[in-house]
């Protein structure tokens, strides 16, 4: 709270309101909209706009030479899943500071990956913690314990460092992300956020073409929430996504991920899963800002993902 009261015009009461709403740092103020600050703090948009300007000036936000900007990449961390074929395609694993989306049909391993990534995130340091948002009732403690044992971790210790919440609708799902930001402001030992799955509630609540624009607008806001957390707190954010079939296609794979361009543009890395030969899972990196497209296969075992 003291950080905010350094800003001109912010008293203890306003700072408390902002902090309770997940806007307890100058950076979170600087990247918020005037309407958001106005609603939360109960001030006019004109005053909110001035507050945002003061926060940006105090942080010296603006342009800088590319060589200095590139130094921020030095703090990027990666979470390996322990499968060489998969980790090699991602150049070491899932990257922090961005959203990685994994999509594919049911039963192809997306939820298994979610559980494995959470456990692997806890391997690095004994104080690391993880957050799992469950939208489809898929979180299973026995799978976490399997992966923990395979990675030499105590099951009970791992379970005590994973924070799980079941989201019952899209509004609840978005409120949970607000709660995550409040958690991160108090404790910076959280390493990863997993949402399994991203679009399930949005898909079920917005039915028909007439609701598509509203759905996409709401989904866009949700993904910006996640991207903000990933960037400000250097978090690894992994979201799984459902797919739909396009019967009009006469050749090639008829499946495509839900969410269209909104999910595509907000995801830095996009990975596709589908059943492979001999009971394996085929994966393909289909979008990345710096890595070439790559693909491979892995087997899902009790202890994790293994090279074919």
Please, which contacts does 149-154 make with residues 24 or more away whose CB atoms are closer than 8 Å? 149/303, 150/302, 150/303, 150/304, 151/82, 151/119, 151/120, 151/123, 151/303, 151/304, 153/119, 153/122, 153/123
pLDDT above 90 (res 253) = no
In the predicted model, is pLDDT for residue 1 greater than 50? Answer: no
pLDDT digits (tens, 9 = 90+) for 163-180: 999 999 999 999 999 999
Task: Output the average pLDDT for the chain.
Answer: 93
Q: CB–CB of 90/102 below 8 Å?
A: no
Tell whether the model's pLDDT for residue 65 goes beyond 50.
Answer: yes
Average pLDDT over residues 116-135: 97
**pLDDT (0 to 100) of residue 9:** 82
- Cβ partners under 8 Å of residue 114, min gap 6: 132, 138, 194, 196, 238, 240
155 dihedral zone (left: phi>0; alpha: psi -120 to 50; beta): alpha
Strand-pairing partners, residue 85, are none
User: pLDDT exceeding 70 applies to what percent of the chain?
Assistant: 97
How would CATH label the architecture of 73-307? 3-Layer(aba) Sandwich (3.40)
What region does 107 belong to: left with phi over 0, alpha with psi -120 to 50, or beta? Answer: left
What is the pLDDT at residue 137?
A: 96
Structure tokens at 215: 């759905």
d(CA 28, CA 5) in angstroms, rounded, equals: 14
Q: Domain spanning 2-59: which CATH class is it, in words?
A: mainly alpha
In sequence order, the 6+-apart residues with CB closer than 8 A to the CB of 107 are 275
Note whether 94 and 100 are within 8 A (CB). Answer: yes
Interatomic CA distance for residues 99 and 77, integer angstroms: 13
pLDDT above 60: residue 57: yes
Chain centre distance of CA 141:
21
Q: pLDDT tens digits, residue range 188-201?
A: 999 999 999 999 99
Query: Is-same-fold flag (2-59; 73-307)?
Result: no
Q: Where are the domains of the chain?
A: 2-59, 73-307
Q: Each residue of 69-101: pLDDT tens digit?
A: 888 889 999 999 999 999 999 999 999 999 999
Confidence of residue 23 (pLDDT cuts 50, 70, 90): confident
Enter the pTM of the model.
0.87
Proportion of the chain above pLDDT 90, given as a percent: 76
Q: What angle do CA 304, 136, 207 make, to 5 degrees?
A: 135
Identify the pLDDT of residue 116: 98
Three-class SS of residue 218?
A: helix
When pLDDT is cut at 50, 70 and 90, the band that residue 247 belongs to is: low
Q: Which of 97, 141, 14 is nearest to 132 (CA)?
A: 141
Task: List, for residues 198-238, the tens digit of each pLDDT value.
Answer: 999 999 999 988 999 999 999 999 999 999 999 999 999 99
């Amino acid at each position: 709270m003291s950080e905010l009261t350094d800003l001109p015009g912010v008293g203890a009461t306003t700072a408390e309101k902002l902090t309770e709403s997940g806007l307890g740092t100058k950076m979170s103020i600087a990247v918020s909209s005037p309407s958001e600050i106005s609603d939360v703090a109960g001030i006019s948009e004109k005053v909110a706009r001035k507050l945002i300007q003061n926060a940006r000036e105090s942080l010296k936000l603006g342009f800088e030479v590319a060589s200095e900007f590139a130094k921020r990449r030095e703090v990027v961390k990666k979470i390996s899943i322990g499968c060489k074929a998969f980790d090699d395609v991602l150049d070491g694993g899932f990257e922090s500071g961005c959203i990685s989306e994994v999509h594919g049909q049911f039963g192809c391993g997306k939820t298994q990956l979610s559980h494995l990534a959470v456990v692997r995130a806890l391997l690095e340091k004994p104080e690391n913690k993880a957050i799992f948002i469950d939208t489809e009732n898929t979180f299973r403690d026995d799978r976490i314990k399997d992966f923990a044992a395979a990675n030499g971790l105590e099951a009970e210790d791992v379970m005590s460092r994973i924070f799980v919440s079941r989201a019952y609708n899209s509004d609840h799902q978005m409120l949970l992300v607000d709660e995550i930001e409040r958690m991160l402001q108090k404790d910076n030992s959280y390493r990863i956020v997993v949402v399994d799955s991203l679009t399930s509630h949005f898909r079920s609540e917005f039915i028909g073409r007439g609701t598509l624009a509203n759905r996409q607008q709401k989904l866009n806001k949700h993904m910006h929430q996640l991207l903000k957390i990933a960037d400000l707190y250097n978090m690894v954010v992994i979201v799984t996504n459902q797919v739909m079939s396009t019967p009009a296609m006469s050749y090639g794979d008829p499946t495509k991920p839900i969410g269209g361009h909104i999910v595509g543009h907000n995801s830095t890395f996009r990975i596709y899963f589908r059943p492979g030969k001999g009971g394996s899972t085929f994966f393909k990196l289909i979008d990345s800002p710096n890595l070439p497209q790559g693909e491979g296969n892995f087997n899902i075992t009790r202890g994790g993902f293994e090279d074919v």
